[in-house]
């Protein structure tokens, strides 16, 4: 994806912790249930489901269970004996669903008028190109950009040649490259929400859910070096703050 990025930026975010006695996974599941039963029952895009009974489904259940350990750094590590590509595939689908739900809570605030360009603060602006349907980068509003982005990600996840769901079907040689691009682009939705809509998130009392989801996302991409550090610059201060609280 082509982009235009300008300089560096700093921003402060209040980090809300989960209630005492609740594990990360319990907190996240509760927030997802609360969201599903409230304003975000309409997700931005249809949820991507992993077939129940498949090995990837079992990996997803393992991921959810290990989040309860209280140590996110350890929870994102590749389970012993598992395939790296499959682990990344399962988590990529999970992050798509999380971001899909999170953005679905604030779509009424992210409009052509309020967000006429896709940005992450005053110094970072993104232009859309997918190399296929739109080859030359175009400047567009945030809701249009995110619609392009999420539709593109959905198409990749639905492509059995890229994300095989059947046992024994190998991942393609370019899988890691595709996964990195997906995660890099999903990060931009987090960045836009934090920079442009965090006040709305706080009004909706969803900041703890957002922070938990983003912390999980960041620890995962850091564990496997899936996003270049320069791409993370719009939220670097927040990333460092989240990391320091885990030490």
To the question of whether residue 127 is assigned a binding role by annotation, the answer is: no
> Which strand (E) or helix (H) includes residue 125?
strand 124-125
CB 201, CB 106: distance < 8 Å: yes
Radius of gyration of the chain (CA): 17
Phi-psi region of 195 (alpha: psi -120 to 50; beta: other; left: phi over 0): alpha
121, 185, 191 from 196: Cα distances, Å: 7, 17, 8
To the question of whether residue 195 is assigned a binding role by annotation, the answer is: no
3-state secondary structure of 189: helix
* Phi, psi dihedral angles at 107 (to 5 degrees): -60, -30
To the question of whether residue 192 is assigned a binding role by annotation, the answer is: yes
To the question of whether residue 140 is assigned a binding role by annotation, the answer is: no
Q: What share of the chain is helix, strand, coil (3-state, %, to 5)?
A: 55, 5, 40
58, 59, 186 from 78: Cα distances, Å: 14, 10, 21
CB 98, CB 31: distance < 8 Å: no
Residues 6+ apart with CB under 8 A from 141: 111, 112, 115, 116, 117, 118
- Annotated binding site: which residue ranges? 110, 115, 192, 197
- Annotated binding site for Zn(2+): which residue ranges? 110, 115, 192, 197
């Amino acid at each position: 994806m082509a982009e235009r990025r300008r300089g560096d930026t700093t921003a402060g975010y209040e980090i809300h912790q989960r209630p005492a006695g609740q594990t990360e996974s319990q907190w996240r599941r509760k927030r997802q249930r609360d969201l599903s039963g409230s304003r975000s029952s309409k997700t931005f895009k249809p949820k991507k489901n992993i077939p129940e009974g498949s090995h990837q489904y079992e990996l997803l259940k393992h991921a959810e269970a290990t989040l309860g350990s209280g140590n996110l750094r350890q929870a994102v590590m590749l389970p012993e004996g598992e395939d790296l590509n499959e682990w990344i595939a399962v988590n990529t689908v999970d992050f798509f669903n999380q971001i899909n739900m999170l953005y679905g809570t604030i779509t009424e605030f992210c409009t052509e008028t309020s967000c006429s360009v896709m940005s992450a603060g005053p110094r970072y602006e993104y232009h859309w190109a997918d190399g296929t349907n739109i080859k030359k980068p175009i400047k567009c509003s945030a809701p249009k950009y995110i619609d392009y982005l999420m539709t593109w990600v959905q198409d990749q996840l639905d492509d059995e040649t890229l994300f095989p769901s059947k046992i024994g079907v190998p991942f393609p040689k370019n899988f890691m490259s595709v996964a990195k691009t997906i995660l890099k682009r999903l990060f931009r939705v987090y960045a836009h929400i934090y920079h442009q809509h965090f006040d709305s998130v706080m009004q909706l009392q969803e900041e703890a859910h957002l922070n938990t989801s983003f912390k999980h996302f960041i620890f995962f991409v850091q564990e496997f070096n899936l996003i270049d550090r320069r791409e993370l610059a719009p939220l670097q201060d927040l990333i460092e703050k989240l990391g320091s609280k885990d030490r």
